[in-house]
Amino acid sequence: MDETKEILAEKEEKEVVSKNFIEMIIEKDIEAGHCTEVVTRFPPEPNGYLHIGHAKSIILNSGLAAKYGGKFNLRFDDTNPTKEKTEFVQSIIEDVKWLGADFEERLFFASDYFDQMYEGAVKLIQKGKAFVCDLSADEIREYRGTLKEPGKNSPYRDRSIEENLDLFERMKNGEFPDGSKVLRAKIDMASPNINMRDPVIYRIARMTHHNTGDKWCIYPMYDFAHPIEDAIEGVSHSICTLEFEDHRPLYDWVVRELEYENPPKQIEFAKLYLTNVVTGKRYIKKLVEDGIVDGWDDPRLVSISALRRRGFTPESIRMFMELCGVAKANSSVDYAMLEYCVREDLKLKRPRVMAVLDPVKLVITNYPEGQTEYLEAMNNPENEEMGTRMIPFTRELYIEREDFMIEPPKKYFRLFPGNEVRLMNAYFVTCTDYVTDETGKVTEIHCTYDPETKSGSGFTGRKVKGTIHWVSAEHAVQVEARLYENLIDEEKGVYNEDGTMNINPDSVSIRKECYVEPIIKEAKPYDSYQFLRNGFFCVDYKDTTEDKLVFNRVASMKSGYKPN
Ligand code: ATP
Ligand code: MG
């Protein structure tokens, strides 16, 4: 039985819930003296921006290193020169730092190890464990066999060590055209694991590499390069996702044949998927290229830069990963859980202010014209340390359009003709009248206030059932707010059979005329607030200007998730 299965069985038996199965493996290795220092790594390919799935790997790997007093490396897996761009290197570094994963100076590039990889290949040839093969790509595929049938040996498999050494050197020196020869590991063409049927480990390709330029015209294949990278860095536990499980025998073969003293151990875990959310790099890229979203950091995406722009915090993402746990079986998590985490993180930290997103005017007919009164309000009633502020109150206010109805249904406790409500942090008001335009749309609501009912005055005369928020029409700051829904049409699911995606046409609603209390003038890019009753909002760093604040709604107040 494989080790992970044993550990999982043990975990079940002892009901060890405080540790995940990877931690249990690591602790066993430490106990048995196989591991003196825990070294982990995050190995992105710089071919796109990072997303929430990568965050899982980053938080898991850096967290393990921190927990066991070890080291965490950020290593760019840049062995494939066609797709890689330096632009992505910068964004990845920024995202990893933002998530709080501490790699200090431990930033590496796999391409810096090309010399060692070449030497490793030579060593395999010298041991009779690798050979230069002249079969074409199609022939190699044919010879490989299938799941049911073993493969056939290449006719070049028995070349002498001398001939292989000579040919491989000449491959490196550029004597052969691209694709005309490859170097293959000599393992077992009859292995039930197809990855072990003499896999290709080096190919000829004249491509300019972002780091090594034109120094190389041969490049190592992933399955050969990756274990060498880990071994060179002294990685103790090489944690990857499930699709590499079948590659583990080859990983182990490479580190064994190259005789590394403390070979790294590969452990696989399940990828993070979010239900009805696009997480794959390839698909996010398609949404960007097709112009369906406005760049990699469009707040509707779950790339790290988009989550940051929308107003998610590193703490909320960490909390989310903690709740998700580390599993060995693929499953899909609800986006609502991520929203729950950001609400939990922000609710005690950020000020709560009144903001009206869909304004209608409210006139208090018995309040003196031209008078401004400042009323005290707590910045966060659940966190007294955040202090208080003064809010201007005047004769003309804005309230939410949905907080008034001419003919209310049962159980509607907000404003309607004749009804009395509390204006949050202010007075009780009773609706006396309203004005409509020619289409019947309400343009103004009239009411009277009762000076006895001032908030904080200890008034106990009578109770009202509804409390609504408001802002002073004269003092409020006009801002833009962007409210988001899922980018995907949830009824149809993300992908169609032909690889296209089902896009929700109403994934963003832009409110250009929103009014917020004057305190909002202090807001800077990335600052977030709770707009009372409306949700958490974050200042958009990209579209905010000197004259206009733009807010992204991080999450509404409605929760679709309950922790157990
Ligand atoms: P994608 O699946 O989006 O194309 P990738 O796996 O090709 O991503 P890499 O840059 O190769 O992206 O991945 C870097 C690391 O992130 C790998 O170790 C990979 O296993 C891990 N990773 C990628 N996606 C997820 C995910 N959804 N959940 C957990 N880890 C992930
Ligand atoms: Mg990949």
Element (H, E) at 264: none
* Residues 124 and 194 occupy one common structural domain: yes
Are residues 63 and 199 both part of a single domain?
A: yes
Backbone angles phi, psi at 331, to 5 degrees: -155, 175
**Residue 494 near residue 501 (C-beta atoms within 8 A):** yes
pLDDT above 60 for 16: no
Pocket of ligand 1, candidates 54, 240, 331: which has the most ligand atoms within 8 Å of its Cβ, to mutate? 54
Whether residue 488 sits in one domain with residue 363: no
Assess if residue 13 is contained within a domain.
Answer: no
- State whether 80 and 169 are in the same domain: yes
Query: Is 395 in the same domain as 485?
Result: no
Per-residue pLDDT tens digits for 381-391 = 999 999 999 99
Residue 317 lies in a domain: no
**Amino acid letter for position 101:** A
Q: Are residues 514 and 384 in the same domain?
A: no
- DSSP code, position 271: P
Using alpha carbons, list the distances in angstroms from residue 515 to 55, 401, 481, 551.
35, 12, 10, 12
Q: Which amino acid is at 151?
A: G
Give how many domains the chain has, as a whole number.
3
Degrees (nearest 5) of the Cα angle 542, 546, 549?
A: 60
Residues 41 and 168 reside in one and the same domain: yes
Locate the ligand 1 atom nearest the alpha carbon of residue 284 and give its number: 3
- Whole-number pLDDT of residue 104: 83
Closest CA to 103 of 74, 75, 135, 67: 74
**CATH code at position 134:** 3.40.50.620
Residue where a domain stops, chosen among 448, 469, 490 = 469
245 located within any domain: yes
pLDDT value of residue 73: 98
pLDDT of residue 17: 57
Confidence category of residue 85, pLDDT binned at 50, 70, 90 = confident
Q: Give the binding-site residues of ligand 1, using a 6 Å CB cut-off.
A: 43-45, 53-54, 56-57, 240-241, 271-272, 279-282
CA 273 to ligand 1: nearest atom: 27
pTM to 2 decimal places: 0.93
Which residue's CA is the nearest one to ligand 1's atom 26? 53
Residue 361 lies in a domain: yes
The confidence score (pLDDT) of residue 15 equals 58
Residue 81 lies in a domain: yes
Residue 61, classed as helix, strand or coil, is helix
Q: Indicate which CATH number applies to the domain containing 426.
A: 2.40.240.10
Q: Check pLDDT > 60 for residue 284.
A: yes
Closest C-alpha to ligand 1, atom 22: 54
Q: Can you say whether residue 145 is alpha, beta or left, with left for phi > 0 and alpha for psi between -120 and 50 degrees?
A: left
The 10 Å Cβ neighbour count of residue 344 is 16
Residue-level pLDDT at 541: 97
Of 46-50, 165-169, 521-525, 559-563, the range with the lowest mean pLDDT is: 559-563
Asked if the model's pLDDT at residue 395 lies above 80, the reply is: yes
Tell the residue nearest (CA) to atom 23 of ligand 1: 54
pLDDT given for residue 499 in this prediction: 83
Residue 453 confidence (pLDDT) above 70 = yes
**Ligand 1 atom nearest residue 46's Cα:** 10
The mean of the pLDDT values for the chain is: 95
- Give the pLDDT score at 1: 53
CA distance 225 to 208: 18
Q: Residue 150 domain-assigned?
A: yes
Same domain, 254 and 385: no
Query: For residue 206, how far is its CA from the centre of ligand 1 (angstroms)?
Result: 27
Query: Containing domain of residue 463, as a range?
Result: 355-469
CA–centroid distance, residue 88 to ligand 1 (Å): 14
Q: Is residue 29 in some structural domain?
A: no
225-263 pLDDT, tens digit each: 999 999 999 999 999 999 999 999 999 999 999 999 999
The answer on 383 and 495 residing in a single domain is: no
Name the closest-CA residue to atom 24, ligand 1: 53
| Ligand 1 atom nearest to CA at 239 | 18
> Considering the domain boundaries, does residue 292 fall inside one?
no
Q: What is the per-residue burial (b if ≥16 Cβ within 10 Å, else e) of 136-159?
A: eeeebeebbbeeeeebeebebeeb
Q: Which residue, 244, 269, 294, sits at the end of a domain?
A: 269
Question: Ligand 1: distance of its center to the CA of 229 in Å?
Answer: 17
At 6 the pLDDT is 78
Work out which ligand 1 atom sits closest to the CA atom of 243. 20
| Same-domain check for residues 463 and 493 | no
Task: Note whether 61 and 180 are same-domain residues.
Answer: yes
Q: Does residue 11 have a pLDDT over 80? A: no
Both 123 and 148 in one domain: the answer is yes
The pLDDT of residue 564 is above 90 = no
CB 50 within 8 A of CB 44: yes
**Which residue, 240, 269, 298, sits at the end of a domain?**
269
